[in-house]
Amino acid sequence: MAQTIPKKTAGNGRSAGKNHFVEEWVGKVYTTLCVLFLVATIIAMVYFVASRGLSTFFKDHVNVFELLGGLKWSPEGSPPSFGAFPFIFGSFSTSLLAALLAAPLSICASIFMIEITPKFGRKFLQPVIELLAGIPSVVYGFIGLSVIVPLFRDIFPGQGLGVAAGALVLSIMILPTMTTVATDALASLPAGLKEGSYALGATRWQTIYRVVIPTTLPSLMTGVVLGIARAFGEALAVQMVIGNAPFVPRSLFESASTLTSAITLSMGNTAAGSTHNNALWSLALILMLMTFVFVFIVRWLEGRSKL
């Protein structure tokens, strides 16, 4: 005998199905609109910076090789000079030196938290290190100006301001980024790889430097590149300790300048559309292109990851 569905139950089922259908479409439309907004914002920003930055070459007829390789920066001089190489050199030198200082610390801290003391490390040490990411950059700069610069002034020749002070401040700032990526990479390593190494008679340290580090190396390098990208775009903290001199330094303890510090120091003192203002937008365009390069390197490293 066929069972009849009560009218009230069937009505509730159709109502629930209609509600689910509406929820699905509302979710799809909302997420699609968010993605379209993000894509439109990115395209608009790239177009805006590129149009302003390229006007230096097409409107003001500045040679691109002069901008990238010139040593003198004096856009309002007579004659004007647009050599941005000292800023490019300052950005790369401080960022790479900061990565050299921070990478060993972050990788060793990650190994300690995951392989040596996993419970204590993941529960206490990692939150403490991640707290560094929440400190404003002006605080880092103030600490660098009050502690690192006087320390360097007492130990090394010069005023304490320079590439070394900027790199040391940046290395502390990028430490949370590198440590978080390295910790996640080590934690995602399949336990079978380490167990197989132990089964073959390897010690803990032999397993770490022969199995764990080689397997997770692309992911560890991803953290290093993200740290360099973070350091490359930092402005305020570096500006406070690097000295802001538009010259190529001859040592780590001479004043220098970066792309970001050159922009922040001069952008408010130039008129929109002027030659000097357009040249600063060209520096911003160089920063944006370098960010694209870092993103490309990160994606390439992620593609080579074995995890």
- Report the pLDDT value the prediction gives residue 7, as an integer from 0 to 100: 53
Mind listing the pLDDT tens digit for each residue in 194-218? 888 889 888 888 999 888 999 888 8
The pLDDT value recorded for residue 281 is: 94
Distance CA 14, CA 17 (A): 5
d(CA 227, CA 102) in angstroms, rounded, equals: 9
Q: What is this structure's pTM?
A: 0.84
Is 132 buried (19+), middle (13-18) or exposed (0-12) by CB count in 10 A?
A: middle
Q: DSSP letter for 4, please.
A: P
Say which residues have a Cβ less than 8 Å from residue 131's Cβ, sequence separation at least 6: 176
- State the amino acid at position 189 in one-letter form: L
Distance CA 188, CA 185 (A): 5
Sequence letter at residue 48: F
The pLDDT value recorded for residue 306 is 61
Residues of the chain with pLDDT under 70: 1-14, 305-307
Residue-wise DSSP of 64-92: HHHHHH-S-EETTSSS-EE--HHHHHHHH
Q: How distant, in Å, are the alpha carbons of 72, 73, 75, 82 from that of 78?
A: 12, 12, 9, 12
